[in-house]
Amino acid sequence: MSQERTYTDDEVAAKIKDEGLDGWAVEDGWLRRKFNTDGWPTTLMLVNAVGFLCEAAWHHADLSVTWGKVWVKLKTHSAGGITDKDFALARKIEDLAVWRPEAGSPLEGTPNKFVKVKM
């Protein structure tokens, strides 16, 4: 097992709040998030984007995918629990998945529902 610090469920819940990872939760020893999309093409784009981040970070999420949903699960297997790696990757995934152009940006943003965010 790795020497990385793992967090208890209560510590994970507190860290989720402290890190502003709305929508993420601890469940069955995993840091989890469900993303709703507007359909299959957006789901595939999100899966590929998450895959890119995971590969670049060399820390891989478990994904479940259906037509309009992507479930992301993070845990550091080598440490036997949730570590700082999982929170760092969750932050990158969250920032990417919910990013939209700011008002006044030269980028107009999609008129589609895209990845739906409830805050």
> Which residues sit opposite 34 in a β-bridge?
71
pLDDT in tens, the chain (119 residues): 668 999 999 999 999 999 999 999 999 999 999 999 999 999 999 999 999 999 999 999 999 999 999 999 999 999 999 999 999 999 999 999 999 999 999 999 988 888 987 65
- Write the pLDDT tens digit of every residue in 93-111: 999 999 999 999 999 998 8
All domains of the chain in start order, with CATH? 9-101+111-116 (3.30.1360.20)
pTM: 0.93
Q: Which residues of 42-65 are buried (b: 16+ CB within 10 A; e: fewer)?
A: bbeebbebbeebbeeeebebeeee
Nearest to 49 by CA among 31, 28, 65: 65
> Which residues sit opposite 72 in a β-bridge?
33, 63
